[in-house]
């Protein structure tokens, strides 16, 4: 029995197995919820080799909850990712792709101060809003209104103290593809592990994170020396304060225990602020400054990229919102522009997005959406939730 089959069998059978021993006088309560999200989009970019892209994604989801005595909860989530896309140049070339795979598949036990979750899940944390050095386990593009990201296979435990401090411990297995800021795959059949401590401080909170994995650098076309097993250690620091404005700092340092030349050390540092101006219905602003650096020596900053981001959001009405994101790449002197109008209906949302970016995209994002947002173009995206 492979991993996916085992997880699916566990998710479907465990709720019924657990509930079987309960009699009619038990205080155990059950709840089964079915829902889903359908996304369709059309992208027009005259400068691309394939100027027209059309696609769709459906995320069906089932949640089962078993409420136990003493405010304990056993719950499960199972969802799939069904997607397809086609791109074409009229009367010339056509490209098509699609797949069906698991999106989330986890089981969780939780109480007032503790939770433990195992399976295919989303794990993210940190203080930064958009340019996130602690994007260790997801691939969210700030410009993506759906905030779509694949999950990771693993186990996560969290304990919450009464003073709002909390501690995280996780172990991951079977996640080979690069995530977040990683440029190399994870070594096959090698577990990963790490943890995080988050603690309240005056006017805010701070966190210290740690992660260890082994990287496989053999398929990088000579970019770095080829190793099947290159252990690396990752340390993250973050803090967020609520002052006159919201402000935060987030940093990550990745150290390879093999000689990878310029990629032996990676440092990412983010500083940001946000504020809502009392203009009309309220103009919300985020500004972030990100430094990305690689080097043979830690903190040498010998090979660095500096990126600024300004995000603005303004509610035109109760149902309409206008937002914009501007990036400036100081190293390559490139400007990236993105504008989004959002219209909210009962169960549906319409997004109309325009972008004006360099043809060759060098933004340090790891989501495939950056390929759609290169050059100058327009995207219409429709979301239906049921």
Higher pLDDT, 214 or 360: 214
- The answer to whether residue 327 scores a pLDDT higher than 90 is yes
- The answer to whether residue 152 scores a pLDDT higher than 50 is yes
- Whether the CA torsion 15, 16, 22, 27 is positive or negative: it is positive
User: What radius of gyration, in Å, describes the C-alpha atoms of the chain?
Assistant: 22
- The answer to whether residue 25 scores a pLDDT higher than 50 is no
Residue 18 confidence class, pLDDT cut points 50, 70, 90:
very low
Q: What percent of the chain is predicted at pLDDT more than 70? A: 90
The region that residue 350 occupies, defined by phi over 0 for left and psi between -120 and 50 for alpha, beta otherwise, is beta
**pLDDT tens by residue, 266-292:** 999 999 999 999 999 999 999 999 999
User: What average pLDDT does range 101-125 have in this prediction?
Assistant: 97
Contacts of 189 (CB under 8 A, 6+ apart): none
- The answer to whether residue 297 scores a pLDDT higher than 80 is yes
Q: Which segment of 22-26, 234-238, 329-333 scores lowest on mean pLDDT?
A: 22-26
What is the rounded average pLDDT for all residues in the chain? 90
Residue 32 confidence class, pLDDT cut points 50, 70, 90:
very high
Residue 1 confidence class, pLDDT cut points 50, 70, 90:
very low
- Whether the CA torsion 58, 136, 239, 117 is positive or negative: it is positive
Paired tokens of 375: 């050059």
Q: Which segment of 23-27, 141-145, 200-204, 266-270 scores lowest on mean pLDDT?
A: 23-27
Residue 365 confidence class, pLDDT cut points 50, 70, 90:
low
What pLDDT, on a 0 to 100 scale, did the predictor assign at position 16? 43
pTM reported for the whole predicted model: 0.88
- The answer to whether residue 370 scores a pLDDT higher than 70 is no
Residue 362 confidence class, pLDDT cut points 50, 70, 90:
low
**pLDDT tens by residue, 210-219:** 999 999 999 9
| CATH architecture, range 29-385 | Beta Barrel (2.40)
What are the domain boundaries of the chain? 29-385
**pLDDT tens by residue, 154-209:** 999 999 999 999 999 999 999 999 998 999 999 999 999 999 999 999 999 999 99
What pLDDT, on a 0 to 100 scale, did the predictor assign at position 8? 45
What pLDDT, on a 0 to 100 scale, did the predictor assign at position 57? 97
């Amino acid at each position: 029995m492979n991993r996916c089959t085992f997880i699916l069998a566990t998710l479907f059978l465990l709720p019924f197995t657990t509930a079987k021993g309960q009699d009619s006088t038990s205080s155990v309560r059950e709840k089964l919820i079915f829902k889903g999200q359908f996304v369709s989009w059309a992208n027009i970019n005259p400068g691309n080799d394939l100027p027209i892209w059309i696609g769709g994604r459906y995320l069906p989801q089932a949640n089962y909850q078993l409420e136990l005595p003493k405010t304990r909860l056993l719950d499960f989530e199972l969802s799939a990712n069904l997607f397809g896309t086609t791109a074409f140049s009229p009367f010339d070339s056509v490209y098509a792709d699609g797949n069906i795979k698991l999106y989330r598949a986890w089981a969780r036990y939780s109480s007032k101060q503790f939770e433990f979750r195992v399976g295919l899940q989303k794990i993210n944390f940190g203080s930064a809003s958009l340019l996130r050095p602690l994007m260790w386990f997801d691939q969210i593009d700030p410009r993506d209104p759906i905030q779509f990201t694949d999950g990771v296979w693993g186990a996560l435990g969290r304990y919450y103290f009464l003073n709002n401090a909390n501690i995280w411990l996780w172990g991951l297995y079977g996640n080979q593809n690069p995530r977040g800021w990683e440029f190399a795959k994870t070594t096959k059949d090698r577990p990963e592990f790490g943890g995080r401590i988050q603690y309240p401080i005056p006017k805010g909170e701070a966190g210290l994170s740690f992660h260890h994995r082994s990287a496989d650098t053999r398929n990088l076309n000579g970019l770095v020396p080829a190793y099947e097993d290159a252990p690396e250690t990752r340390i993250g620091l973050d803090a967020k304060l609520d002052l006159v404005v919201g402000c935060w700092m987030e940093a990550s340092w990745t150290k390879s225990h093999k000689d990878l030349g310029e990629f032996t050390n990676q440092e990412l540092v983010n500083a940001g602020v946000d504020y809502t101006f009392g203009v009309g219905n309220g103009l919300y602003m985020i500004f972030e400054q990100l430094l990305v650096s690689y080097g043979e020596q830690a903190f040498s900053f010998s090979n660095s990229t500096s990126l600024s981001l300004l995000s603005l959001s303004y509610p035109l009405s109760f149902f309409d919102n206008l937002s914009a994101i501007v990036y400036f790449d100081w190293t390559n002197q490139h400007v990236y522009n993105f504008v989004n109008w959002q219209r909210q209906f009962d169960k549906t949302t319409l997004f109309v997005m325009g972008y004006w970016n360099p043809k060759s995209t060098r933004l340090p994002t790891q989501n495939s959406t950056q390929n759609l947002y290169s050059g100058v173009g327009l995207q219409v995206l429709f979301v239906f939730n049921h």
